[in-house]
Structure 1
Amino acid sequence: MDTRPRRRRWPIVAAGVAAFTASAAIFSQIAFAATLFSDNFEDGDLGGWSKSGGTWAVVSDGSKALNQSNSGSENAREFAGDTGWTNYTVSARVKPTSLPGNGLAGLLARAKSSTTFYRLALVPGGVQLQAVNSGSVTVLGQVSRTVSTGTWYTLSLTVSGSTISGAVDGASVGSGSSSVASSGRIGVQTAYAAASFDDVTVSDTAGPAPTTTGPTPTKSPTPTKSPTPTPTSGGGGSTPTGSWPSSTGSVSVSGTIKVSGSLDGGMKRYCCIGDGSQSESQDPMFELADGATLKNVIIGSPAGDGVHCLGRCTIQNVWWEDVGEDAATFLGTSGGDSYVIGGGARSASDKVFQHNGNGTVHISGFYASDIGKLYRGCGNCTNHYERHVTVDNVLLNKAKYVVGINTNWGDTATLTRVVVQSSSGIHVCAEYTGVAKGSEPKYLGDGMGDGHCNFTSSDITYK
């Protein structure tokens, strides 16, 4: 009979701590830990775990184990534990069953969201200790070693203050300093790989992370993806008031304006293109190449399909007088960050910002009135991606939704300083199940603080 412990949460008993205080000076070098969580999956269920992508099941693998079998999944994760956990060590046995050149199988700590956490990952040819911030990866330490499919490896990931360290089979992978996340849940993950996980244990650790022996990294932490830098200059990013700007002139538009680099419209009114309908076959008024910036523009009506971002882009202090189909559509599929800074939009019967590609869209200092949704991650596009949005310092008047995301694809929304006016019954963060093109996404309900919809009630102000 299997006697290993099941899931447990052990309170740290205050009386015991107090009784030990008198001896603390003598035994100050001894580390004490309490088991916060354990799961060996022998009961065959996934109670206490929450899925984000992938195909997960408890299977028989000698003993029972948690298995992710879809090696085509871009991001498959299971999360457990408490969002308030800070300093701890999480360990697990991990067995990759499929690990191609772009794959990984790993262990997560301080998962603040589904794309922000610390990760210890088995990758082809080695093991990496990583800080992952909204999908952007920084390598904190790594070792080269053979990683074979069908072999169990014991991973151990320790987070203590800003020090992050990891070990595989008792040998150090390295350590580094990071402030990506100060607290969060644990998790297991695969990306373009399949793997089994077993004997997951979380132990509380107070004080510095334990020192381990073994190889140390030979180079400084190196970002593996370079996101578009956050723009820091220009107008339109202050707290929105609802006032509308006046144009300084007019520009007649007869076809799509393609922007490579930067276009500063000087607050002129650009008009007109399209028929003002909801048809998605209309041409955009502006098409922004990867890395392009559009700023200080008033877009008149009809505006066709608004602005198309073909990759990473910045839309700064741009105002839509009357949104036809969408104000802007983000189409880039190479990841990275796009920014909407300042500006505003009126009369969007459906969406203001449509996210069809992947990466993260950041919306700040924006005003919108008489709209359906401020942001929607596409729920039935031809290609399915994990998408992320941050919304900060916005003013919405007569809005039906703030954001809509697809939880089955790992989408996240982070909301702060959202002010809502005259919007009774508004959906702040609507969660959907994304579906194949031609079908309609299923509305699951509104989320808050669940790893997909990341905000609290204090982040939303109703007036």
Structure 2
Amino acid sequence: MTASAAITLSLPLSNAMAADNLSLTAGADGSSKASGTSYGNVRDGNTGTYWAPNATTGYVSVKWSSATTVSSAVIRQASGGGSISAWRVLNGDSGSQLASGSGSPSTVNFSSTSLKKLTFEITGASGAPRIAELETYSSGGSTPTSSPTSGPTSPSPGPTGGTGTPTGAWPSSTGNVSISGTVNVSGTLDGGMKTYCCIGDGSQDESQDPMFKIANGGTLQNVIIGSPAGDGVHCEGTCTIRNVWWNDIGEDAATFKGTGGGTSYVIGGGARNGSDKTFQHNGNGTVSISGFYLSGSGKLYRGCGNCTTSHQRHVKIDNVLLNNIDMVAGINSNWGDTATITRVTLTSSSGATVCGKYQGVAKGSEPKYLGEGWNDSNCKVTQSDITYR
């Protein structure tokens, strides 16, 4: 199978994945809606549409005709809206609080609850946030990946699937896709665990083209990326990278370039054989990394310290297994960056820095390393969040 340069793919979610998201069969209502938005947009399976309140706070609910058991919710934000500073998830039947938090939410787990209505309430924000999807699931953890379906093009998840604790096991390829240029992704590209190869020269040259370029709101999933992979994956806005495996990191595994705010997700998957950064954050907003395995690299995440435009950036890292690395996250404390780090297991990395602080500088200069941070306004991590093996 051969893919030519600059292919644009827009594929629907698999039936198995759609069935996992309980919101797709629900109704919706809320407190208020900004002009041109709809409550129903949060459960239509389309990250290109959204609901926004007509003020900085408000709520949106999904509801079912009969009692439904729910134990997790995934909040996906569209770019261009206000930044959420405080939120709650409520049992819409009783009004009782199931979960709450500060900052931008992503995957929210809570005790399994039977209800007819679930509410996501924004209690603090810098402007009117845009909620693209309020997904609900009956089992906890990150967004479920698809299960195999019948037919020759059915997607098949890797061994970790993006939902459990990473083990370091590498997936088997189901076939090969030869490409000769960047593959443009609009909507969802499900690679069915095929290996896509190759582009670039395998060097650290930042001028190389990416293998995949994901449009705002797009999803790349169930893909093995061969070597060389050029400049990896580029997210042009917010995106989801689910169960993607890099055989060789090259320059960067993925670069997040969007400047419209919101959250991009890396769910499951893994990468190996890198020398510097794995995930490079050049834009603004938040990158959420969960269920990921990394072996042999400098950093899991780095917020750009000398890009053309300076941004405040945030990263959330949870439930990751990191082998033989130098640093978990590097952030620029003078720009107000934050790193929220939980459930990290480090192997062969006893000297690794967990949260490294830098002084961001103008393009053309080199950022200054300031030292490691623990449990402060920038580095939201404690020693109990890290396990060394």
Q: TM-score, normalized by length of structure 2?
A: 0.64
Q: Which 4+ stretches in 1 moved above 2 angstroms?
A: 127-131, 133-140, 177-182, 220-223, 227-233
- Please give the alpha-carbon distance, in whole angstroms, between the structure 2 residues aligned to 1:443 and 1:222: 33
1:129·1:139 contact (CA, 8 Å) conserved in 2? no
Which sections of structure 2, spanning at least 5 residues, go unmatched?
1-54, 60-74, 91-96, 104-121, 136-141, 146-160
Verify: 1:267 aligned to 2:211, yes or no: no
2:350·2:388 contact (CA, 8 Å) conserved in 1? no
Determine helix, strand or coil for the equivalent of 1:349.
coil
Verify: 1:406 aligned to 2:332, yes or no: yes
Q: Which residue of 2 aligns with 1:225?
A: 129
1:351·1:373 contact (CA, 8 Å) conserved in 2? yes
Q: Call closer, same or farther: CA 1:273–1:422 in 2, change over 3 Å.
A: same
Q: Which residue of 2 aligns with 1:379?
A: 305
Deviation at 1:128, TM superposition (A): 7.7
Deviation at 1:179, TM superposition (A): 3.6
1:404·1:429 contact (CA, 8 Å) conserved in 2? yes
Q: Which residue of 1 aligns with 2:101?
A: 180
Q: Which residue of 1 aligns with 2:295?
A: 369
Determine helix, strand or coil for the equivalent of 1:458.
helix
Percentage of identical aligned residues: 66
Q: Report the residue type matching 2:342 in the other structure.
A: T
2:302·2:330 contact (CA, 8 Å) conserved in 1? yes
Q: Call closer, same or farther: CA 1:272–1:181 in 2, change over 3 Å.
A: closer
**Could you give the per-residue CA deviations for residues 159-216 of structure 1, whole angstroms, max 9, x where no partner exists?**
xxx9xxxxxxxxxxxxxx994359xxxxxxxxxxxxxxxxxxxxxxxxxxxxxxxxxx
1:338·1:362 contact (CA, 8 Å) conserved in 2? yes
- Equivalences for 1:69-108 in 2 at 5 Å? none
**Could you give the per-residue CA deviations for residues 232-264 of structure 1, whole angstroms, max 9, x where no partner exists?**
231322110011001000000100000000000
Which sections of structure 1, spanning at least 5 residues, go unmatched?
1-126, 141-161, 163-176, 183-219
**Could you give the per-residue CA deviations for residues 21-48 of structure 1, whole angstroms, max 9, x where no partner exists?**
xxxxxxxxxxxxxxxxxxxxxxxxxxxx
Task: Calculate the aligned-residue CA RMSD, in Å.
Answer: 2.8
Q: Which residue of 2 aligns with 1:119?
A: none
- Please give the alpha-carbon distance, in whole angstroms, between the structure 1 residues aligned to 2:203 and 2:336: 32
- Please give the alpha-carbon distance, in whole angstroms, between the structure 1 residues aligned to 2:364 and 2:385: 35
2:343·2:387 contact (CA, 8 Å) conserved in 1? yes
- Please give the alpha-carbon distance, in whole angstroms, between the structure 2 residues aligned to 1:377 and 1:227: 25
Verify: 1:254 aligned to 2:180, yes or no: yes
Q: If you compute each CA radius of gyration, which structure gives the higher value, 1 or 2?
A: 1
Verify: 1:420 aligned to 2:346, yes or no: yes
Q: Report the residue type matching 2:164 in the other structure.
A: S
The match for 1:308 among 219, 224, 234 is 234
Q: Which residue of 2 aligns with 1:137?
A: 84
- Please give the alpha-carbon distance, in whole angstroms, between the structure 2 residues aligned to 1:139 and 1:328: 29
Q: Report the residue type matching 1:374 in the other structure.
A: L
Deviation at 1:378, TM superposition (A): 0.2
Q: Report the residue type matching 1:233 in the other structure.
A: P
Determine helix, strand or coil for the equivalent of 2:324.
strand
Q: Report the residue type matching 1:439 in the other structure.
A: S
- How many pairs were matched up? 264
Verify: 1:354 aligned to 2:277, yes or no: no
**Could you give the per-residue CA deviations for residues 319-373 of structure 1, whole angstroms, max 9, x where no partner exists?**
0001110000000000000000000000110010000000000000000000000
- Please give the alpha-carbon distance, in whole angstroms, between the structure 1 residues aligned to 2:323 and 2:376: 26
2:280·2:304 contact (CA, 8 Å) conserved in 1? yes
- Equivalences for 1:315-326 in 2 at 5 Å? 315-326=241-252
Deviation at 1:390, TM superposition (A): 0.3
- Please give the alpha-carbon distance, in whole angstroms, between the structure 2 residues aligned to 1:271 and 1:329: 18
Deviation at 1:136, TM superposition (A): 2.5
- Equivalences for 1:333-352 in 2 at 5 Å? 333-352=259-278
- Please give the alpha-carbon distance, in whole angstroms, between the structure 2 residues aligned to 1:377 and 1:274: 24
- Equivalences for 1:34-73 in 2 at 5 Å? none
Q: Call closer, same or farther: CA 1:355–1:221 in 2, change over 3 Å.
A: closer
Q: Report the residue type matching 1:392 in the other structure.
A: D
Q: Report the residue type matching 2:129 in the other structure.
A: K
1:394·1:419 contact (CA, 8 Å) conserved in 2? yes
Q: Which residue of 2 aligns with 1:74?
A: none
Q: Call closer, same or farther: CA 1:437–1:130 in 2, change over 3 Å.
A: farther
Deviation at 1:225, TM superposition (A): 1.1
